[in-house]
Structure 1
């Protein structure tokens, strides 16, 4: 009796060998992922037809289809402190919990499409940390790499995004100041990032709802604009816009000039766009002999660990880093094998934290 001649069942490895396309990308084709170009889809489907591979293999329908997440950042991560180091730490914890490896990729030239394409080529899945420049997004999307943005936004709504609810957080902080009797409240910010615009929008909305009035020309101090227009310091303005002026967006250099020229005169409260800005502002006020909160109240945003150690301890808005990173990691894992063709924007919870840097006015 002759032994039965069994034909080997084709596998993903066979398709990978035939096409030169990674198994994770082949899996995305089989699951109708939006993160695959038509050219790749055509090539994979031709190989499936040639090999006789059964695309309804159950293994493709369940579980995690990637082994590694790449965190893509700009070189600002090495210059700023606090927020992104917290973010990276929490991402690593969540990824390790579900048995995914994590690696870091720093893009030094985010406007050079060829350089970006070379660096991101071959990545399985990407988390973009505060990096939402059109060049970077277009390159990643063209390569068919699943990507989710944390602390940013794709204005074309191709890539999904996860951020703290900055608008609500800013509204809570502003409302607290108003309820404490403050009316002349100034907002100190930088104006080049989507997440910063959201905080400004929350401040403006809370002022309007309270009937406190709002005048952007007098109540908002945008650090790079002030450096450029009032200080005539184009170099500093450019550094702030390029995220190279430190974690406080250049506040330590701008605020002394603003104080000495009376720009903040009359304000009873300063709402700062981040804790690092607020800490620099409090230091500048102290050096100018202005008491916090005796003369001016100060509020920050993020609730970094250092914020409870300042003198006085800083009132702020807490970002829930665990909720933020868990949402982003699981959204990315889901999208590596998704069968729908849409993107989402998620906002995670924030909490107001009252400390001693705000004085209630009589």
Structure 2
């Protein structure tokens, strides 16, 4: 049985069937599915509704032959289940799907110095129209030339390309926001649990923490190194369970949660004795005890903005670059931060005197 609107037979519906059903020309159908200009919103809606009704799917292979493009985008990313890289990858997948392109993913392995170059070469061999580099670890310089536009997230390595687009460079700014929050509460300084040093994001967050302290004239205590895990946060907490420590910024939520457990085991109260801020706003951060103050990474916004710029560079290579706009910076204040004990005590004393 064939669907209504089919021009006959049992083969898959064609663009001609869509044109007949929508009452437009085949050229108009082509313009709609190629996201071209000069198509009114009403005509676009009619064509898409007709295509859905008769079950039409564009022939991407034919479109690729006609346009010289495969309508595919490749991404180079570290093969990891860590929250940040995995969430960004999920955001990129959604953004690519919504853009009408296919996504091809090549994962790298930590510690492989040729991983990024090999992944990019693999994607180029598949004929992708653009490449996304979301590699979070510094494995050395990338000596590679490509002939398609490249979108780079954060401080990832950059190959030589006809157009380089940078997005998601906010780790340092979010770290400053987290540190400023603690300083604004009245803490004299803020200690820091850093991520592993080969990671670009760990370096950026440490630099943001340092800049925030420097701007306020606050001393910078020695950095305590972690590895993104709650276990490393707990180990750092055993070092930081000191009477001089009143505020800590951890480079991700997992380490912040491990830190809180170590502080509680050492007889410290959070936030009465030590305030803690994390980074990422992972789903569990709102449900630990106490709920964690943190900064939120806008993964979906970064991905959609970056993909919009990349698709523009692919489809309009002679046009100027689009303005990416300012990425949103969000501090999520919960119960793990408060003014230091000295300020709280002075406030309570003042209230009694009144």
Q: TM-score range by the shorter chain?
A: 0.5 to 0.7
Task: Confirm or deny: 8 A CA contact 1:126 1:148 kept in the other structure.
Answer: yes
SS of match in other structure, 1:148: strand
Measured in 1, the distance between the counterparts of 2:258 and 2:282 equals 14
Distance 1:135 1:333, change over 3 A: farther
State TM-score, norm by structure 1: 0.64
2:185 aligns with 180
The residue number in structure 2 matching 1:95 is 96
Residue 236 (structure 1) aligns with: none
Q: Distance in 1 between matches of 2:105 and 2:243?
A: 44
Q: Deviations over 1:251-285 (max 9, x none)?
A: 514642x4545675521011011222212222332
Distance 2:308 2:332 in 1: 28
Spell out, residue by residue over 1:311-356, the C-alpha distance to the aligned partner (whole angstroms, 9 max, x if none).
1111111112222001211122123242379999986221111111
- TM-score, with structure 2 as normaliser: 0.65
Preserved CA contact (<8 Å) 2:138 2:199: no
Distance 1:264 1:160 in 2: 45
Q: Does 1:285 align with 2:288?
A: no
Structure-2 change in CA distance of 1:154 and 1:72 (3 Å): closer
Q: Report deviation, 1:193.
A: 2.5
SS at match of 2:106: strand
- What do residues 289-314 of structure 1 show as CA deviations (whole Å, max 9, x unaligned)? 43221221110112122221221111
C-alpha distance after superposition, 1:10-39 (max 9, x if no partner):
xxxxxxxxxxxxxxxxxxxxxxxxxxxxxx
Q: Does 1:146 align with 2:149?
A: yes
Q: Using the alignment, how far apart are the partners of 1:99 and 1:117 within structure 2?
A: 22
Q: Select the structure of larger CA radius of gyration.
A: 2
State the partner residue of 1:272: 250
Structure 1 262/210 Cα, relative in aligned 2: closer, same or farther at 3 Å? closer
- Match of 2:143, SS state, is helix
For this pair of structures, how many residues does the alignment match?
269
Match of 1:205 in 2: 211
Distance 1:145 1:288, change over 3 A: farther
Q: How far has the Cα of 1:88 moved from its partner?
A: 2.1
Q: Distance in 1 between matches of 2:325 and 2:70?
A: 22
Specify which structure has the bigger relative contact order, considering alpha-carbon pairs within 8 angstroms and separated by 6 or more residues: 1
Give the RMSD, CA atoms, in angstroms. 3.4
Q: List aligned pairs for 1:103-118, cutoff 5 A.
A: 103-108=104-109, 110-112=112-114, 115-116=118-119
**Unaligned ranges ≥5, structure 2:** 1-62, 345-354
Distance 1:92 1:179, change over 3 A: same
User: Could you say what secondary structure the match of 1:103 adopts?
Assistant: strand
Helix, strand or coil: the match of 1:252?
A: helix
State whether residues 160 and 345 of structure 1, in contact with CA within 8 Å, keep that contact through their aligned partners in structure 2.
Answer: no
| 5+ long unaligned stretches in structure 1 | 1-58, 224-239, 241-247
**Where do residues 298-317 of structure 1 align in structure 2 (5 Å cutoff)?**
298-317=276-295
Q: Which residues of 2 match residues 314-333 of structure 1 at below 5 A?
A: 314-333=292-311
Distance 1:353 1:260 in 2: 26
The corresponding residue for 2:135 is 130
**d(CA) in 2 for partners of 1:64 and 1:175?**
51
User: 1:163, 1:346 within 8 Å by CA — same for their partners in 2?
Assistant: no
Q: 1:64 to 1:283 in 2, by over 3 A?
A: farther
In 2 relative to 1, CA 197–311 (structure 1 residues): closer, same or farther, beyond 3 Å? same
Aligned-residue offset at 1:132: 6.4
Residue deviations 1:45-78 (CA, integer Å, cap 9, x gap): xxxxxxxxxxxxxx99xx9955222222122x23
